[in-house]
Amino acid sequence: MDSMTLKLGQVQLMVGRDKAENLRRACVLIRRAAEQGAQLVMLPEMFCCPYENEMFRPNSEEQGGPAQQALSALSRELGIWIVGGTIPEREGERLYNTCYVYDDQGRQAARHRKIHLFDVNVEGGQYFMESDTFAPGNDITLLDTPWGRLGLCVCFDLRFEELCRVMTLRGARMILAPAAFNMTTGPAHWELLLRQRAVDNQLFTVGTAPARDESGSYVAWGHSMVCEPWGGIVHQCGTGEEVAVTELELSRIDAIRRQLPILSARRTDLYEVR
C-alpha cells in the first residue's frame, strides 16, 4: 500500500560557476527541506554548473562521481529520497544530461538521461543547441517509491506529450521534471505545460528550476511549481533562491480518475496514424 501523502521539497538553487560551492549549497538547502519534514527533495536541472555548453564538459563526472556520492550520502544520512536535478554525466567521450535518484538508504533508484535535447532557435528570443555537447538518452525512466510510481522528464522532455502519456499508461502517478526554462519560453509555456500534463494525465507534475541569475548567459525563469491532477497549482515559487515544502494529497489521483474517467475512456481504436 502506497503512502497517501507526500511531503515534497523543492530546492530552487541559485547556481554559480563553482561546482563544489553549488554542491555544498544544494546540500545545505536539502537539509533545510528535510528539517521542514520533506520526504523527497528535488533539485533543478544543471544544479552544479551554469546551463552553458562550455560549462558542461569541465563540470562533468562519471558514474559514482563527487556530486553523486554527496547526494547518495546525504539521502542515507537524512533518510529521505533525493531527485538529484541533473548533472553532466560522462561515459567515455559522451556526455549526457542526467538525473540520478537516490532512495532513503542512499541507493541509486534511477538514472534518467535526457531524451529530447534542447535544440531551438526562437526568433528574437532563446537560442540553444544542447546537442553541441550532449548525446540523448534512449530510455523512458519510471521508478517505484513508497508514494507510487514516478516518471522522470528532464526539462525539454516535458514538452513531449507522448512520453508523458506512455509513463502514465505504465503507471506513473507523478511526473517529476528537473528543468531550467528561460525568459522566452518560461513566461509562455512553463505553467501551461505543467498544468496541461497534469490535467491530461490526471497526476501530479512537479517542475523544479534554478533561481534566476540575471548575470548569466542563460537566464532561468525560476517559478518551480507543483500541479495536481485537476490541473490546479498547488505551489509556485518566485524567482529567487528558495526552499519549498508542499504536501501532496495522493488520493486526488484516484478520485479525479474516477470522477472524470478520461484515461479509461480513450478510443484507441481510432487514434492510429496510417
Ligand X SMILES: O=C(O)CCC(=O)C(=O)O
Choosing from 27, 48, 153, 155, the catalytic residue is 155
CB crowding 110-147: b at 16 or more within 10 Å, else e: bbbbbbbbbeeeeeeebebebeebbbebeebbbbebeb
Choosing from 19, 27, 45, 99, the catalytic residue is 45
Neighbours of 63 (CB within 10 A): 12
Let me know if 61 is a catalytic residue. no
Task: Tell me whether residue 81 or residue 156 sits nearer to ligand X (CB atom).
Answer: 156
Task: Tell me whether residue 155 or residue 176 sits nearer to ligand X (CB atom).
Answer: 155
CB of 188 to ligand X, least distance (A): 8
Q: Which of 49, 155, 163, 175 binds ligand X (CB under 6 A)?
A: 155
CB of 52 to ligand X, least distance (A): 11
Burial of residue 104 (CB within 10 Å: 0-12, 13-18, 19+) is middle
**Separation in Å, CA 230 to CA 194, 197, 264:** 12, 10, 16
CB of 126 to ligand X, least distance (A): 7
**Helix 19-35 vs helix 66-78: crossing angle, to nearest 10:** 10
In 36-126, which ranges are continuous DSSP H helix? 53-56, 66-78
Segment 1 to 40, residues that bind ligand X, using CB under 6 A: none
- 250 within 8 A of 226, measured Cβ to Cβ: no
Look at the block and give the residue holding cell 474517467.
261
CB of 37 to ligand X, least distance (A): 30
Let me know if 155 is a catalytic residue. yes
C-alpha span between 239 and 211 (Å, rounded)? 5
Segment 93 to 152, residues that bind ligand X, using CB under 6 A: 118
Task: Tell me whether residue 173 or residue 223 sits nearer to ligand X (CB atom).
Answer: 223
CB of 271 to ligand X, least distance (A): 25
Choosing from 89, 114, 153, 227, the catalytic residue is 114
Stretch that binds ligand X, among 54-62, 139-147, 155-163, 259-267 (CB under 6 A): 155-163
Segment 38 to 97, residues that bind ligand X, using CB under 6 A: 45
Q: Grid coordinates representing 147? A: 508514494
Closest to 67 measured CA to CA, from 98, 94, 93: 98
Segment 174 to 233, residues that bind ligand X, using CB under 6 A: 180-182, 185, 189
Let me know if 237 is a catalytic residue. no
Positions that interact with ligand X (CB under 6 A) = 45, 118, 155-156, 159, 180-182, 185, 189
